[in-house]
Chains A and B, each alone.
Chain A
Amino acid sequence: MHYKSPVREPLILGNKDLHDITVDIARPIETKANRWWWALFAISFAAMLWLFGCIAYLIGTGVGVWGLNNSVGWAWDITNFVWWVGIGHAGTLISAVLLLFRQKWRLSINRSSEAMTIFAVVQAGLFPLIHMGRIWMAYWIFPLPNQFGSLWVNFNSPLLWDVFAISTYFSVSLVFWYMGLIPDFAMIRDRAINPIAKKIYTFLSFGWSGRAKHWQRHEVISLVLAGLATPLVLSVHSIVSMDFATSVVAGWHTTIFPPYFVAGAIFGGFAMCQTLLLIARKVLDLQDYITIKHMEYMNIIILVTGSIVGCAYLTELFIAWYSGVELEQYAFLDRATGSYWWAYAIMMTCNVISPQLMWFKKLRRNILFTFILALFVHIGMWFERFVIIITLHRGPLPSSWHDYSPTFVEIGTFVGTCGFFLVLFLLYSRTFPVIAQAELKTIVKSSSTKYNKNLHYLDAAELEKMNKINKKK
């Protein structure tokens, strides 16, 4: 017998039984896409082509096609890199950490957020590659035997740590994601009519038969991978932050960066989850599974991590003043009042002030508000990284101070990665089971409306009303 919380809202609405869930989740795969999907796909695809065009131009001509200069050696490239890596974090957090903490509400969203992680890491991984002056030598960042004899990589360099951190993260996330997908693929396989689809899903499901032994192994490996992935949630962004923290650049050289980056990453990642799922639940008709309550949970995490980030910003300012180090003080003063004050202002508004509105229950349960706020967080988190990186424009020697502005290639590359990301996500949404249905089915008994009609804190009429509202939205 499952323990039923008397106060928690149900996580599956709409009187779904096990079969309903199967049908609902298989529907996007088995039916044709609607116009909205095609429209969005066309736009994203165009943006993706633009990305590849920009990259080709960049590699063909030189990094000089970006707006970088002798003082500002990184700008949009690494901003985008950190932003995308950060977005990836929510997925791992949801699937690994929430699994370990036995948070059931993760079940409706973990699949998509993991997909988001992987697609975001793909975007992120592009930037360290294309920002290199000689991308054709990129393989030198791996400790490979080479023609230079004993020449090895530099293990002191945080960029090298990045290589390991990101590649580990990507592979663990991918495996974890795939493990969860196997029973669901098997479900699709079993329902597939089209012989080609059947073949493909048969291959993808690795011969899953649903035997108890399979389930047992699946459970174990999920737990092991969750254990493996959990430290990665902390390590990846900590290491990314060390690109900055281990440098001597005032404004970068800060010990607060690892926790602050991790909190920021979760903050930004959950916002991306919101953005994607708010659209997906509507377009794929999954309101019964991704409910207002799910939104609210995520909003609470956004509120908490946003507040942590806000504290970090203030701590940075305080420490800069308290340190008595002039370069440090100036770096922060310049951030807030210098030529990029607007970026700082956007960051502060979007990341610190706007999430505080989530204290209001009405707002955090409002879908439109959530959607807009998530966009704010994306903007804020992008500018957070930009504000940090652009500190380079005023280094210790005023003689080399120089501002920076992006060229169309940098803007195109960024917009293009958004397109690429959406292309991947849209393709995923029509070929993959977007909700981990096998796992979700484990809570049908404990927290769906169908099996919990007699919960006394809500009467049936009220539940019906909630179901209706959910449907409408």
Chain B
Amino acid sequence: MKKQKKYFKSPYIKGNEEYLHNEFSEKLPLDGLFEDDKQLSSTATSRRDFLKFLGFSTAAAVLSSCEAPVRKSIPYLNKPEEIIPGNPNFYASSCFEENVFSSLLVKTREGRPISIKSNDKYLFNQGGLNARTYASVLSLYDSSRLREPQDKEGVFLENVDKKVVDRLTKINNQGKQIVLITPTIISPTAKKVIALFSKKYKNVKVVYCDSISKSGILDSNKDCFGDRFIPTYEFQKSSVIVSFGADFISEWIDTGHAKQYGKTRTPGEEMSKHYQFESLLSLTGANSDKRIPVNPEEQLKCMLYLLEKIEELKGVKQSVNIQLDKHQKILDVIANELWANKGKSLVLCGSNNKDEQVITNYINNLLDNYGKTILTQVRSNLFSSNDNDLDIVIKDALDGKVGAIITNDYNLAYHYPKSKEILESNKIDFKASISQYLDETASMMDFVIPKSNYLESWGDFNPYTGVFTLQQPTISPIFETRQSEEILLNWSGDKTSYYNYLKKSFESEKKNWNDTLRDGVYIKQQSEKKYSFSVNITKHINNCLNMLEDKKEFICLYSKSSMGSGLQSNNPWLQELPDPISKTTWDNYLTISPAYAKKLNLKNWQVADGALNGDVVDLSFNEQVYRLPVYIQPGQAYGTFGLSFGYGRIKAGKVGNNIGVNAFELYDGNQLVQKDNFSIKKVDNMEHEFACTQISHTMMGRAIVKETSLSEYLKDPESGNEAMKFASYKGDVSPSELKLYEEHKPAMHFWNMSIDLNKCNGCGACIIACHAENNVPVVGKEEIRKNRDMHWLRLDRYYSSDMNKDLAAEQNTGAIQMYSEMEEASSAENLEVVFQPVMCQHCNNAPCENVCPVAATTHSNEGLNQMTYNRCIGTRYCLNNCPYKVRRFNWFNYKDNDNFDYNMNDDLGKMVLNPDVTVRARGVMEKCSMCIQNIQKAKLDAKKEGRKVRDGEIDCACETACDTGAIVFGDILDKSSRVVKEKKDPRSYVLLEELNTQPSVFYKTKVRNKKV
């Protein structure tokens, strides 16, 4: 039976059921009013009185309805010392979720965490946060979080600890195994807790699981160095980077890599050269200087060929001899470049296959990269799983050896679907889940113990050798939850709180607790092991050669920057964050190259309202059939099918349920590439509706993202950014010299923003940071499909096209044909990708300002284009007249509306709202304000302290979120500011200069390291 909550109703209820149905048990004294006519006529109420009463009651009703609704706010009885209403507090903390470690600064307002930024005290590995970490603050306020311990039926469990301990002791006495399944743990104190747990219950088996395994790298290092570990990579010291399918900018080992890599991308002699061999078009491939689309077997061949070439250059014994059909020429070039940059290069591999990783290690070793760009003495602790462990657990469980299975913050049934067999069976006596959600796993367990969010938890982390961080709660647990360490601690018999336990354990550090907590980071010398490289390469090469089966079709699994492995599927910000490449939201789909789609007769097409539809296929894999839409992805290798992890959740919550297919079901043997036992069949008469934020592919030959090559740039820094001239009566002049209006005269400040297109890698973290800062609503798939996203900041992605104006002139192609060919992306081999963040450009000749009939959008004397929401009447003229199309209209009410059942429709979700920013009403226009609330705050702070606003003091959400520093915001009147320097750069240009809108946002030319 489900547990029924009982509420207080009336003191009479108990024992007197009559009260339940009859509110007035005594007879009401109505006799005198209605029953006796005589009495009625003899009453003193005259017609006059009646009218008086009527008048009074009408007036009273009207008066009372005039009153504004009362909104109760509860003042502090004892005001907490640190909280000043209206002022934010920042706390240093850390997060380790889905194998992504980040050291953070959490912004809280009146006791609520509302946004996150990276902790600048944390410098190791360049730090950096990805979009998921930025969005995690919303997951704290997820209304589908577990609120209390419950059993299988959802009934509240009292004294859960005692019950669990009893059961575990019993199992322990039976001599059966207790299996604890947990993600990689990088917390030294948590490890102690687990040791304590293992000590209490003798037969405990702890299984570390990484949902997307890096076992291949770990194992390869065991073979090469004799120890199972992941080294740290130093991209910033690498001049030549060759990646075989490693998406290191977005989803590889460490978020810090993107920042490290960004450091080498400043145009100049020192700029790194990046080659990417890959099957799917990844974010990393999109950023590379030269991308070579290959299927997984070709990729391996290329790697082996590279090995052969490097060995040849090094003059060592040839361990392999491989024939390539194509790409030989480029690999010869790459080999020479790598050799010339010995010790300053990196060769990476994204595969989870040990042998391929060993080959990579071997090449790196030949290139003397170990100790220089790859540090074996500094280990990364972020991954630790062993691919076979779970298989053994299943086998043991089926053999009846396992008495208890406890999952700790790990969605076993989702990430490892095979485990459903044992979770469903009654072979295991005790099944418990420590989880934040009633997810796929927890819903199969006997005991579900709610776990706190990381923002409600204490902790310490040791992500890399010698690097430690602390985690502190920024809000007291919202529900009846404890952090998993505390739960395990209690089950181990230690009743102390985890906070005390942690503090006690910290005492050994001999450091000031408060200071360390404030910084969030501390360094401790740890023994750095020395490793030496030795491996029998022939064996691994032979294994690799055996893998070359000359297959034609491959399934390639990947993870998206928005979804990762699906932990935050129920986070609407992330569901609505477009994939950086496909620009698709709310969806999981099979990507396929245009050429292969043609072969299979699969299509994507636009319907009348401009939205994208696609064919649907049945993908049979290991006798299971998965129905998936097809998305045609330019740049993808022929014969490959891409499918993303993180979708196909059925118990994620109202937002994340039933979106697409669970790719973990295809993650056989933890291999990202599957080439056996599958087939694809088109489903006739069925189409899928996509929701893309960008449909078009190319720039149509317009100078939107200006681009040049490094060789040209070195000759002329203005290359690709030639000044635009208009013919006029004054001769050839730049557009800004042709004026119609008087210029705005900035008073004290003039805010400008620089966006370096060379540093921007298109990751999308800025979009989420902007959502959190500016209360940007979520609109859902249907609305995105109608091109009604509310993103204040969007990331445009353009593919190169094989057609251009010069070519058309050469070939005598007509304009109609030229433009239609321009719309097509280049063939996979030639495809180049550029990204461009576009937000309100804050034009000084703003087309939107002129046309608003009610002056709701106006220019500030600091150069900002301001939107006054409560003056807006919603004519949308500004939107039409905005050439950048950055204005966003509130087509509906997005808050408190059941049709938009996301975070703004429940009280918990609304706690994430930034109190400094208005939640916009239906029918008004909104857009980027350059985080004016933070500009005002910085100005006020400066005024109070009697100084000028310091450069970089203003926290523009996108600027702060940009790990690579592509975005710089500042005052152009402050001659020493960074933005002035950026503006003077010969690469700087404004978007659509020919319209002479004079934007305050300017871009810097993209420079690709290639020769023309």
Contact = CB atoms under 8 A, between A and B. Distances in A.
A132 B872 CA distance: 9
Interface stretch (B10-18, B341-349, B504-512, B874-882): B874-882
A83 B863 CA distance: 39
Interface stretch (B69-77, B606-614, B935-943): B606-614
Interface stretch (A134-142, A176-184, A356-364, A425-433): A134-142
Contact of B880 (A61, A64, A135, A247): A247
A210 interface: no
A397 B783 contact: no
B857 to A, nearest CB: 9
B850 A399 contact: no
A148 to B, nearest CB: 7
B992 interface: yes
A471 B843 CA distance: 66
A118 interface: no
A158 interface: yes
Contact of B876 (A67, A133, A247, A405): A133
B892 A61 contact: yes
B891 A62 contact: yes
A326 B702 contact: yes
Nearest to A243: B877
A131 B797 CA distance: 32
A393 B696 CA distance: 12
B851 interface: yes
A67 B786 contact: yes
Interface string A326-367: 110110011001010000000000000000000000000000
Interface string B968-1012: 000000000000000000000001101101000000000000000
B893 A395 contact: no
Contacts of A62: 890-893, 922-923
**Residues of A contacting B: mostly:** loop
A152 interface: yes
B923 A69 contact: no
A157 B876 CA distance: 12
A45 to B, nearest CB: 30
B890 A70 contact: no
Interface stretch (B38-46, B206-214, B788-796): B788-796
A138 B844 CA distance: 28
Nearest to B820: A337
Given A151-B871, A152-B855, A397-B838, A402 B610 contact: yes
A152 B855 CA distance: 8
Interface residues of B, number: 66
Given A70-B885, A401-B696, A134 B851 contact: no
A399 B798 contact: yes
A461 interface: no
Nearest to A62: B892
Contacts of A395: 883, 885
Nearest to A139: B873
Interface in A11-41: none
A135 B875 CA distance: 9
> Chain A, interface size: which category?
35 or more
A61 B794 CA distance: 27
B15 to A, nearest CB: 49
A399 B796 contact: yes
A133 B924 contact: yes
Interface string B557-593: 0000000000000000000000000000000000000
Nearest to A148: B871
A154 B797 contact: no
Interface string B688-708: 000000111111111010000
Given A63-B923, A140-B871, A397-B796, A247 B879 contact: no
A246 interface: yes
A63 B924 CA distance: 10
B853 interface: yes
A153 B891 contact: no
Contacts of B51: none
Interface in B199-248: none
Interface in A146-185: 148, 151-154, 156-160, 163
B787 interface: yes
B468 interface: no
B728 to A, nearest CB: 13
B881 A132 contact: no
Contacts of B786: 67, 69
A266 to B, nearest CB: 26
Contacts, number: 187
B794 A393 contact: no
Given A64-B783, A337-B816, A402 B854 contact: no
B923 A400 contact: no
B876 A131 contact: yes
Contact of B798 (A68, A138, A249, A398): A398
A464 interface: no
B53 interface: no
A247 B851 contact: yes
Given A64-B891, A134-B873, A248-B883, A397 B853 contact: no
Given A154-B854, A403-B606, A134 B892 contact: no
Interface string B805-824: 00000000001100100000
B997 A248 contact: yes
B995 A396 contact: yes
Interface centre among A63, A151, A392, A402 (most CB of B within 10 A): A402
Nearest to B790: A70
A74 B609 contact: no
A326 B606 CA distance: 25
A333 B702 contact: no
Contacts of A141: 853-854, 873
A397 B874 CA distance: 23
Interface in B881-898: 881, 883-885, 887-893
A258 to B, nearest CB: 17
Contacts of B992: 396-397
A404 interface: yes
A70 B790 CA distance: 9
B852 interface: yes
Interface string A406-424: 0000000000000000000
A246 B850 contact: yes
A73 interface: yes
A406 to B, nearest CB: 9
Contacts of B889: 63, 70, 73, 133
B875 A131 contact: yes
Given A132-B874, A133-B873, A405 B609 contact: yes
A326 B794 CA distance: 25
Contacts of B880: 73-74, 247, 249, 392
Contacts of A151: 855, 871
Contact of B853 (A68, A74, A159, A398): A159
A71 interface: yes
Interface in B816-875: 816, 819, 836, 838, 847, 850-855, 871-875
Given A64-B891, A64-B892, A403 B608 contact: yes
Given A64-B783, A69-B786, A70-B788, A248 B891 contact: no
Contacts of A128: 875
A135 B921 CA distance: 13
Contact of B854 (A140, A327, A405): A140
Interface of B: 606-610, 694-702, 704, 783, 786-789, 794, 796-798, 815-816, 819, 836, 838, 847, 850-855, 871-877, 879-881, 883-885, 887-893, 921-925, 991-992, 994-995, 997
The 5 residue pairs across chains A and B that have the minimum distance between CB atoms? A133-B874, A133-B923, A403-B610, A64-B891, A73-B876
Given A133-B923, A396-B992, 8 more contacts: A73-B877, A74-B877, A131-B875, A157-B853, A395-B883, A396-B884, A399-B796, A402-B695
13 contacts: A62-B893, A63-B874, A64-B788, A69-B787, A73-B877, A137-B873, A140-B873, A151-B855, A163-B853, A247-B847, A327-B702, A330-B700, A399-B796
